[in-house]
Structure formats: structure tokens, C-alpha cells
Amino acid sequence: MKKAITMLLSCLLSVLMLASCQQTENNQQNGNSDPQQNVSADNADNGENYADTSVFGTFTAKDLDGNEVTQEIFASNKLTMVNIWATFCGPCINEMPDLGELAAEYADKGVGIVGIPLDVTDEKGNIDSYLYNEAVDIVATTKAAYTHIVPVESMFVRKLASVTAVPETVFVDSQGNQVGDCYYGARSKAQWTEIIEELLGEVQ
């Protein structure tokens, strides 16, 4: 009898645990929204009369050196490789030296590389100063000497909240619209070169 009661209590506990977990999940949902839903909001903000299909929308942010960065950063190149990384992510860090070299090699060919250290802020864009400094150190150590944008809330709403694994790399044209696929995971310098060449052909 005692054991039966124990069993029943355990089952009850399981059910309660599952129920309460659904609650937690719902609270989290409020922060995320489908990127597509924000297109009309951007229209209202900018008075644009065409749908903004760019990956990151319009944003005003700073890079790791404190310089202001907006979506205009993409306009200066035909193709920009946006590499989303994190300070805790080993594979991200391992490929950054290669990305630094690629940035230098393609600088005069209209291809730029931009990094976004995802864990330096929370989803509202509040900076964690410890992780910020970590990111600065990592960039210095890996010699990934290109712009790294400290993300702001609009970028999370637009794209970053749906990033579930790092590194994730997307390519955009000068308007900030996506070119090619989303590339998950790290790659070798040779593999990235191949992809860059292929996508460069598409944006010419």
C-alpha cells in the first residue's frame, strides 16, 4: 500500500512539474517574435513605402571599439559576411583567425566581414561588461580585425532571437538583404573562400 501511494504521488508530481514548465515557457515566448511580423512596424517608423526585407532591418548600434554602426555598414560593400558568434563558443573562436585573414584579403574586392558577439548583451541589448571585455580580448587574440557589432534590441527582434546555435553566418548584399543560405557551424578558410566566391558571383 505504501509503495502504491508513493507511486501515485510520483505520478502526480510528474504531471505538476510538466504543467508548471509550460508556464515558464510561455513567459519566455513574449520576448521572441517572428521576424516577419516586424516588417510593417519598420514601415511605420521609416515611412518607407516598400517592405523592408533586410535581415537586420534598420538599427543604431555600436561596435566593440565604441564607434557607431548602422545598417549603412552594408552599403559600403557588394557582399557582407555576417558571422554571429559567442565568447563561450570554441568553434566560433577557432575560425575567427581565418575570418580575420579573409577580411584583409577581400577588403579591396567589395566583400566585408562583420561579427556579432551574441552573448555580450541580453535580448534587450543590455551589455554584460565582463563578457564585453572577453569579446574584446578574443578579437585581439584571434586578430579578427573587422567590425564587431554589439547587438541592440531591434536586431534581436529582427533576427538574433531565432539564432539557436553558433556560429551562424549569413551573407547580405549592400541593402542588407540575404544572399545565399544560412550557414551553420564553423568552416575552414578554403570552404569560406569557395562560398564567398560563389555568392560574390551572385551579387555582381
Partner 1 sequence: MADFIKKIKMNIRLIVQFSFFALTNGYLKGFGEGKIYKGKLKMFCVPGLNCYSCPGALGSCPLGALQSVLGSREYKFAFYVLGILMLFGALGGRFICGFLCPFGLFQDLLYKIPFVKKIKNLPGDRFLKWFKYVLLAVFVILLPLFAVDITGLGKPWFCEYICPSGTVMAGIPLVLMNESLRGAVGFLYAWKVLILIVVIVLSVIFYRPFCKYLCPLGAIYSLFNNISLYRFTVDKDKCTSCGACQKKCGMDIRVWEKPNSIDCIRCGDCIKICPEEAISIVNLNNKNKK
Q: Which residues bind partner 1 (CB under 8 A)?
A: 1, 3-4, 7, 10-11, 13-14, 17-18, 21-22, 24-25, 28, 88, 90, 93-94, 97, 134, 137-138, 141-142, 164-165, 181-185
Beta strands 79-85 and 68-70, pairing class: unpaired
- Cβ at position 15, least distance to partner 1 in Å: 9
- Is the CB of 17 or the CB of 44 nearer to partner 1? 17
- Is the CB of 109 or the CB of 143 nearer to partner 1? 143
- Is the CB of 158 or the CB of 187 nearer to partner 1? 187
CA-CA distance, 61 to 127, in Å (whole number)?
Answer: 12
- Cβ at position 109, least distance to partner 1 in Å: 25
Task: From 175, 180, 197, 201, select the one nearest 74 (Cα to Cα).
Answer: 175
Retrieve residue 3's grid coordinates.
509503495
- Cβ at position 51, least distance to partner 1 in Å: 24
- Is the CB of 23 or the CB of 49 nearer to partner 1? 23
Retrieve residue 164's grid coordinates.
539557436
Task: Answer whether the bond into residue 117 is a cis peptide, omega within 30°.
Answer: no
- Cβ at position 19, least distance to partner 1 in Å: 10
Task: From 68, 86, 164, select the one nearest 132 (Cα to Cα).
Answer: 86
DSSP string, 15-40: HHHHHHHHHHHHHHHTT---GGGGHH
- Cβ at position 92, least distance to partner 1 in Å: 10
- Is the CB of 183 or the CB of 193 nearer to partner 1? 183
